[in-house]
Amino acid sequence: MPYAAVNGLSMYYEVHGAGSPLLLLHGGASPIPERWIPFFTDRFQVTAMEQMGHGRTADALDRPFHYHDMAEDTVELMRQLGIESAAVVGYSDGGNIGLDMAIHHPERVTRLVVTGANARPDGYTAENLQEIDDPIPDDEPAPDGYARLAPDGAEHWPVVLRRMQPMWAAEPDFSPEQLQSIATPTLLVIGDRDIVRPEHAVEMFHAIPDAQLCIVPNAGHGALPKETVLTFLLEAS
């Protein structure tokens, strides 16, 4: 299993398929979304990594969680793997990382697809904001993926959730000027029952100059309509 030494982390990553480079960025508190890899491997070489405290990448207690830091980790992994630029597909927190990359490293991102991403915490629904504020009990059970993969062990699950709560409550906080600076062709995807408000996705759509918006009916967080996404990625090539 490949790991890379990235900014003090031993970062796990996988490479699948052949073709133009594509980065697949997972959501918060989730490992690599294996179910989505086959969407892209016919046309792309997919690199999927696991961020600090996710999947097989251990947590680093001396580092707080910030989207920008995870974006910088991703760019460093690209550098080590010799990936000069790539299409980026990000889910939830992974979408926020993708937006940060497009703002701070536009030369690295050729096309950007984000699903369930937000530009500010107030983009979340009131219910999700309340969940972010709820205390995490010591006996919070770890999901199977975390318990099976995490080098820190299942007992670290409540710890990593508590460490991520301040980030979820305060970040991202992209300014209108930062969103307007995104020159990368961008597809914003959101479910009509997402934890991100559709109105917020529309606001992002208007702010990002070359954006497209796809609202998926009868869908929750993490909608990824395969044909729509592939059409966007291939037409924009």
Tokens linked to 69:
């830091």
The DSSP 8-state label assigned to residue 124 in this structure reads: B
Tokens linked to 148:
């099976």
Q: Identify the pLDDT of residue 50.
A: 98
Q: Identify the pLDDT of residue 236.
A: 55
Residue given tokens 């699948």 in the structure block? 16
Residue given tokens 């107030």 in the structure block? 122
Domain around 179? 3-235
For the ranges 7-16, 81-90, 227-236, the lowest mean pLDDT is seen at 227-236
The CA-atom distances, in angstroms, between 213 and each of 115, 178, 186, 206, 225 are 10, 18, 9, 9, 12
Domain with residue 44: its CATH number is 3.40.50.1820
The whole-model pTM stands at 0.98
Q: Identify the pLDDT of residue 149.
A: 97
| Domains of the chain: total | 1
Condensed to tens digits (0 to 9), the pLDDT of residues 56-71 reads: 999 999 999 999 999 9
Stretch 191-216: mean pLDDT, rounded?
A: 97
Q: Identify the pLDDT of residue 210.
A: 87
Condensed to tens digits (0 to 9), the pLDDT of residues 185-200 reads: 999 999 999 999 999 9
Residue 13 is inside which H or E element, if any?
Answer: strand 9-17
Q: Identify the pLDDT of residue 72.
A: 98
State phi, psi for 75 to the nearest 5 degrees: -65, -40
Query: Using 50, 70 and 90 to split pLDDT, how confident is the model at 179?
Result: very high
Condensed to tens digits (0 to 9), the pLDDT of residues 70-93 reads: 999 999 999 999 999 999 999 999
| Mean residue pLDDT across the chain | 97
pLDDT above 60 for 237: no
Cβ atoms of residues 179 and 207 within 8 Å: yes
The CA-atom distances, in angstroms, between 39 and each of 33, 45, 117, 128, 151 are 11, 11, 20, 29, 28
Q: Identify the pLDDT of residue 235.
A: 87
Report the share of the chain in percent with pLDDT over 90: 98
Cβ atoms of residues 43 and 67 within 8 Å: no
Report the share of the chain in percent with pLDDT over 70: 99
